Amino acid sequence: MLARPSEAGLEFGLAVTPSGCLPQGASLPAAMPSERDRGLSGTQLIGLGVFLAAAFVVPLIAGLMIDQVAHTTPGGLLGGLVVGIAAAAFGLRAQMRRYL
């Protein structure tokens, strides 16, 4: 909602300045924040959480399955853990890059 000039100079709690009263080179702020300023929506945050969970859990389960088949108890688990953490970190960085 944009503010309109009124008798008191205020409407909707926003100060209204006629365009002729601004200093040279100054401009009024935008009415709506840009896409970059708003951050992530709720749907995007849910999607990011699902992605991070899948990127972490899938390699971890694959490592546990490798352990069962190859009888290498901590090796597959640790390998899956490292791959999952790396996948989650790189995926998070790729998703957040547009906001940084």
Local structure of 9: helix, strand or coil: coil
Q: Residue range 29-52: average pLDDT?
A: 77
Q: Return the domain boundaries, the chain.
A: 36-99
The dihedral over CA atoms of 5, 7, 11, 16, expressed in degrees to the nearest 10, equals 50
> Please, are residues 30 and 43 in contact by the beta-carbon 8 Å criterion?
no
Residue 39 pLDDT class (50, 70, 90 cuts): confident
As a whole number of angstroms, the distance between CA 20 and CA 24 comes to: 10
Q: Would you state the structure tokens that stand for residue 36, as one six-digit string?
A: 């970059």
Three-class SS of residue 3? coil
Q: Record the pTM.
A: 0.58
CA distances from 40 to 46, 76, 79 (A): 10, 35, 32
**pLDDT tens, residue by residue, 43-86:** 988 999 999 999 999 999 999 999 999 998 899 999 999 999 99
Strand pairing category for 10-11 and 14-15? antiparallel
Average pLDDT for the chain: 78
